[in-house]
A and B are shown apart, each in its own frame.
Chain A
Amino acid sequence: MTRLLAALVPLGIVGMIAFFLFTGETGDRMFRGRSELGDTFSRRAVRSDPPNRLGPGSRGLENAAANTVTAIVLDYRGFDTLGEVTVLFAAVAGAGLALFGRRRRRGKAAPVTPSSLILTAAAPWVFLFLFVVGFAIVLHGHLTPGGGFPGGALLAAGLVLLMSASGHESSARRLHLLEGLSGFAFVAVGVAGLVWRDSFLAHFGDAGALGAFWSAPVTILLYLIIGLKVSAELTNAVRTLANVEDPTTEEVP
């Protein structure tokens, strides 16, 4: 009876949400067009008048990234992305603090299972593949879907795979160094925009032709920094969570 109730209450809530979303005025407006803001972003006409010609090979645009979402995330809303990366850092650091804030006083380290032959034999090749694909995704963030966040996740997957295959964990100091340096580099690029252009994180330098690989150089740089930071962050998170002593095997005092 309680199980039925537990199933019925979410069903009712979802049904109510669906009713309010798909009927009446909201339902009429849903899936009916694009916001004015999104249109301005798509035309690259936020800071200046819309360009005469927008398409592959256009020059002199205010943002030359072919991917509009990337243009928003790293240019129009770049400061927000800095905050987002900071939140990721804070969450991983908070997890580490919650688990290892007090030194380990009791309990033993989690038992290490030796890695199997399949894992140790395949890991370097899969790692190579993941690294190449990961960096390709990171470096093509301004042209294709993807960019620093998914690419960084792939790089982290390669690092974690290598960690679990070789049995020895990657050095925490190096990971922290990479995290700190990439965070600093992000702010440094922002300050460079302040120096050479009018505002923090403004894109400096020649934007290049839209659609070419060497277009939007600051976007490439920022996504490379984000990819490195995210990979270090995720590897660190996995390392933190994997290092905990096993609480279930602990004897009750």
Chain B
Amino acid sequence: MNVVHLVAISALSLFGIGLYGLWSGRNVLRWILAVGLMETGINVFLVLTGWYPGARVPIITESFSTSGPVPFLDPVPSALVLTSIVIGLGTTTLALALAILHARSHGTLECEADPETAEVLE
């Protein structure tokens, strides 16, 4: 148990908080926020999987020398997470637009479980 496990637990907790946000309540905005939280947790965890004891930031700086193995953390998950963040932004934008559509047609941001009783304005 060291710092990296603490960060891993924080990432999983973020994921869990997002899951709780999805589970409880029927507000569309709350769902979008919850999905954003889950994304953040997953991103943190993905970056963390590249870490190992003694790993350094994968940038070649002045103090760098090639004697022995390269002391960098795995750069592949970091590069993947860069993509994931941008895609998350795109999906959030689209989800907000759909939430606005929902509010326009139903007059509320709450989602009704039963489509029979749901009230549609148009």
Contacts and interface: CB of A to CB of B under 8 A. Distances in A.
A94 B58 CA distance: 36
Given A38-B50, A43-B70, A252 B121 contact: yes
A241 B90 contact: no
B82 A95 contact: no
B87 A72 contact: no
A34 B72 contact: yes
A247 B60 CA distance: 52
B76 A10 contact: no
Given A6-B20, A91-B93, A92-B90, A42 B70 contact: yes
A73 to B, nearest CB: 5
A66 interface: yes
A166 interface: no
A31 B121 contact: no
Interface string A1-25: 0010011011101100110011000
Contact of B75 (A68, A87, A95): A68
B79 interface: yes
Interface residues of A, number: 67
B97 interface: yes
Nearest to B25: A6
A41 B74 CA distance: 9
B49 A94 contact: no
B101 to A, nearest CB: 6
Contacts of B89: 88, 91, 234
A113 interface: no
Given A9-B23, A30-B49, A87 B94 contact: no
A31 B52 CA distance: 5
B19 interface: yes
Contacts of A145: 57, 59
B15 interface: yes
B90 A252 contact: no
B113 interface: no
Contacts, number: 164
B90 A90 contact: yes
Contacts of B70: 39, 42-43, 54
Contacts of A92: 90, 93
Contact of A18 (B9, B52, B65): B9
Contact of B82 (A17, A18, A73, A210): A73
A87 B87 contact: yes
A31 B86 CA distance: 26
B44 interface: no
Contacts of B65: 55
Interface string A36-79: 01110111000000000111100000000011110011000100
7 contacts: A14-B15, A22-B8, A34-B72, A35-B76, A39-B70, A54-B60, A88-B89
Interface of A: 3, 6-7, 9-11, 13-14, 17-18, 21-22, 30-35, 37-39, 41-43, 53-56, 66-69, 72-73, 77, 80-81, 84-85, 87-88, 90-92, 94-96, 98-99, 107, 143-145, 149, 210-211, 230, 234, 237, 240-241, 244, 247-248, 250, 252-253
Listed from nearest, the 3 A-B pairs whose CB atoms lie closest are A91-B90, A95-B97, A10-B19
